[in-house]
Amino acid sequence: MATSRLKALAATTASVPITLFGLVLVTFLIGRVMPIDPVLAIVGDRAPADVVAAARLELGLDRPLYVQFWIYLTKLAVGDLGRSVMTSHTVGEDIRRFFPATMELATVAIFLAAGIGIPLGVLAAVKQGTRIDHTIRVVCLAGHSLPIFVLSLLSLLVFYATLGWAPGPGRQNLMFDDMVPVVTNFLTVDALLAGEWEVFRDAVAHLLQPAGVLAYFAMAFIARMTRAFMLDALAGEYVITARAKGLSPMRVIWRHAFGNISVRLVTIIALTYAGLLEGAVVTETVFSWPGLGQYLTISLLNADMNAVLGATLVVGVTYLGFNLLADVLYRLLDPRVS
């Protein structure tokens, strides 16, 4: 059994380079087929023809496509994603600056989503067919069906514009800019490290609203999956046997039924977290959250192709990594999977 599991893990790991190569190839081709000329984005659309030709020659865009792809691969091998026209920094520097904000947002969201979604899913399964079950299913259906930008705009309208409970868009109040030394680029963590409690409270206040929108969207999926898994587990013979032995309902539900589905939930949460990291583009744009999603959107609007391709590649690699992690965890934690 152990040998077969190791072989399966090896086969899964071996597929990663192929998938990664395909991701890089697709990303490169998208950058070449998009109706945006990166040369004009650099020199301007009113530049003389000789300046445009010289820039195209310097960037290597006059060479055959396969040569351009080889140059792209050799640069990626040393971590060179090019330079952003918009910020004048290397794309790698920009990603290191913006990606932590996205991770901070997605991490808070996934903790909220799992902390609320799992108990709701269990409760819905235990109360199957009752008003509680129907209510939870309607709430989850709304969260999973409404577009994320609608949820974001409604949240701003209700909690910021109407009730005044939440601060405005952005990551922090302008009065706190540059008050905290940058150590991790996670604003809440850096504020705690610096002992700036007022900055920390302000950062948390700005974080809760966009994180809450993402959490509601993710919670709906996690709760529905938990309910489906629990219904299957509660109908199992081992649960019927546990009830026949006179075990308490709470022990049967959480020890026997939930314990049996927890491994599958780990993979669901890992993939949901990856989806939040790549899917926060709209939320970050609506809430003016300075993360990778907003960076990608602004770069696309400014025809900054190096930044667009770099950010897209990072998002793809992140999702691929979490997909692999979920698969490995499922195989390691569940002895029935070979």
Give domain status of residue 38, yes or no.
Answer: no
Smallest CA-to-CA distance from 269 within 311, 313, 329, 212 is with 329
DSSP string, 306-335: HHHHHHHHHHHHHHHHHHHHHHHHHHHH-T
pLDDT in tens, the chain (338 residues): 556 556 655 666 667 788 788 888 887 887 777 666 667 666 766 777 777 778 777 777 778 888 888 888 888 888 888 888 778 888 889 998 899 999 999 999 999 999 999 999 999 999 998 999 999 999 999 888 888 888 888 888 888 888 888 888 888 888 888 788 888 888 899 999 988 899 999 999 999 999 999 999 999 999 999 999 999 988 888 788 888 887 788 888 888 888 888 888 988 898 899 888 776 778 888 898 888 888 888 888 777 888 888 888 888 888 888 888 877 777 776 655 54
CATH of the domain at 140: 1.10.3720.10
Give domain status of residue 151, yes or no.
Answer: yes
Number of domains in the chain: 1
Give domain status of residue 226, yes or no.
Answer: yes
Cβ within 8 Å of residue 300, ≥6 positions away = 308
Q: Are 181 and 199 in contact (CB under 8 A)?
A: no
Q: Are 282 and 149 in contact (CB under 8 A)?
A: yes
Q: Tell me how many degrees the CA angle 127-133-137 measures, rounded to the nearest 5.
A: 150
Domain boundaries, position 328: 93-333
* Whole-number Å distance between alpha carbons of 203 and 176: 9
